[in-house]
Structures are given as C-alpha cells and as structure tokens.
Structure 1
Amino acid sequence: MTGPRRIGQSVPEVAGKVLGKRGLAFGALITDWPSIVGHQLSLRTAPDKLSFPRGKREEATLHIRAMGAIALELQHLEPQIIERINSFFGYRAVAKIKLIHAALPSAPSPVVRPRALTMDEETGITAATATVEDEELRATLERFGRSLMARPKRAAR
C-alpha cells in the first residue's frame, strides 16, 4: 500500500476499466455532451460509439443516436458538431459522424416522494388494523396502509 492518492489519479484507471474498449475519450464525450452540442440538441441526441481506425487514436467515426426529424438537422450541423468535438479534445479526434436512427436511452424517472399523512388518515389506518391480534402482522399492515395512502393520487382517465 503506497498511502492515500488523489481522486484525479485514480479516475483514468477506474474509468478505463468501466469503459473498456470505448476508452476515456468516449467517457468524456458522454459526460460533456450537453456542453459540446448544446442543451437542446443533447436532449434529442446521444453519442453511441466512437470508432477509431485500426492502430490510430484520431479521425474516429462518431455514431450518434437520433430519432426522426432531428437526424436531418444533425446532417446539416455535422461540420459544426465535428469542429466542437475536436475543439473539446484539442486534436482531430472525430473525422465523421454516422447517424443511428434509434431511440435514446431512457432518462431516469423522477423520484416521487410520498406525502405526509393527515392525522385522520393515521387514525383510520390504526382503527382498521386494531382487531388484528398478531403484533407483527398488524405493524406490517399499518406500514402497507401508510404506503398506499401516501401515494400521489392519479388523475381520472
């Protein structure tokens, strides 16, 4: 053991293992995609793969996922996007873009926090489970009742 290391020293090693063949360049491209192409474009596109020619670490083909009409817009913006990517890396990392007509990876859904129960709701749950003799079962039913009551109400369809 050599002692404590700075996190920055460990990131390339760990990221290299996680990204595997895709490499650190692809990882940087993913994390900084919104700043490279702009917020609006980043919402409708996603880098999918960065393919370098055999034995080279420059002039790669960037595969971008896009759906529908945004693909046409990307074709028109291709020179500017390549220029922005290469400016980001500081060398001619990307030579061309290949569009993939596919759905974007889904964004994580927002976490919905349960609402606090009113005193009447708490009393109702306690009253509904009062006749259950087994304490463990009663406690489980009360927790279940609270979780059901705390859910946000769904709109009528």
Structure 2
Amino acid sequence: MGWKPKKRHFSSLAETSSKLLDPILRKKTGLSLELMTNWPLLVGEDIADSTMPLKIIWARRASIDDPFKPATLVVGCEAYAAMILTHETNEVLQRINAFFGFVAINRIKIEQHMIEKEEVVRSGPLPVDDNDRKRIDELTCRIESDALRNSLKDLGLSIFAQKHSVRDKKFNN
C-alpha cells in the first residue's frame, strides 16, 4: 500500500486553458465555456455570427428553502440580428434549456454590441512548378472520367503547393 506517483502526460492548451478559464467565467458572468463553444449550434450559424452570450443573471434567493427561479440570458447582438433573435427567442430558449438539461433560462435580454469575429484569411492558390504539373498530368492521364480526373489534379496541385510552401518556410527560417 505504498504511495504511487501520479502519471504525467501532456495535455493540450485547450484543455489547460479551459480548466483555468471556466471557473473565472462562471464567477464573473455566470456562463460556462460549453455554452460559449456550443453557441453556434444552439442558435444557428447565421445568428451566431452576429450575436454572443454576455452573461447569465441568476435570481437571488433569500434562503436555501426558496424555490429555484430560472435566469435571464443577456445576449450581445448587432442591430440587424436583434430582430431575427427576437423572432426566434422561444426556439432558442428551448434549445438552451435542452442543452442545460433543465429550465435554466426563461428570458433573453438583448443588448446592442459590436460583435467582432475572427476572419479566416485565405490566400490565393500557391504556386506549383511545371515539373509537378507534368507529373500530375502523367499520373491522371489514364482516368476516363473528366470530373474525377480534374478533382484528382486539383488535389495533387494543392498537395504539391502545400509541400513546397512548408519546405520554403523551413529553408527561409
């Protein structure tokens, strides 16, 4: 019955940061990271792009014997999305309460905010040299289906372009 050391393992940054941020987020705003990460699934992608849950206002109870009262969810919303969210409030409430597993929220309060989302920067196609193009043409020339041949060419070009961009980064650093 000796003491055994705890097995150590590497954990991802997301796991570590969620363990640190979740208690702080719960204390300051009443929200959980699960609600924040699942927000697009709960309200839909079109609404989630222009809205964000800000905080949950829980009703205060004078004593432990007081009955539970559902909370109010404060949602930051851009002007044009407020009308859409207003019309879909009942459906959103049902989804959020199903997410929690009980009637936790009974009201949504909308506040106007500028919502800044990260934009995915997409660059144009990466350059591929002529030798790689010739090689791809040789490998796909016997494929009868035009659609399949073109798809495989595009795939090959993207693989070679990515391969060359990674190699160039290694040599430039």
TM-score category (smaller protein) = 0.5 to 0.7
Secondary structure of the residue aligned to 1:30 is helix
Change (3 A) 1:6 1:90: farther
Note if contact 2:56-2:73 (Cα within 8 Å) is conserved in structure 1: yes
**Cα distance between partner residues in 1 of 2:119 and 2:90:** 31
Note if contact 2:30-2:57 (Cα within 8 Å) is conserved in structure 1: no
Secondary structure of the residue aligned to 1:69 is helix
Instruction: Give 1:101's aligned residue.
Output: 112
**Counterpart among 64, 88, 93 of residue 75 in structure 2:** 64
Structure 1 position 89 matched with structure 2 position 100: yes
Query: Within 5 Å, which residues of 2 pair with 1:17-56?
Result: 17-22=23-28, 25-55=31-61
Change (3 A) 1:26 1:16: closer
Q: C-alpha displacement at 1:22, in angstroms?
A: 4.2
Structure 1 position 80 matched with structure 2 position 91: yes
Q: C-alpha displacement at 1:47, in angstroms?
A: 1.0
Instruction: Give 1:126's aligned residue.
Output: none
* 2:72 counterpart letter in structure 1: T
Structure 1 position 16 matched with structure 2 position 22: yes
Note if contact 1:85-1:94 (Cα within 8 Å) is conserved in structure 2: yes
TM (norm. structure 1) is 0.57
TM (norm. structure 2) is 0.53
CA deviation digits over 1:32-81, x for unaligned, max 9? 01111111111121111111112598611111111223212211111111
Tell me the number of residue pairs that the alignment of Structure 1 and Structure 2 aligns: 117
Q: C-alpha displacement at 1:14, in angstroms?
A: 2.7
Compute the RMSD of aligned alpha carbons. 3.6
Structure 1 position 3 matched with structure 2 position 3: no
Note if contact 1:51-1:62 (Cα within 8 Å) is conserved in structure 2: yes
| Structure 1 spans left out of the alignment, 5+ residues | 117-157
Note if contact 2:57-2:71 (Cα within 8 Å) is conserved in structure 1: yes
Change (3 A) 1:4 1:58: farther
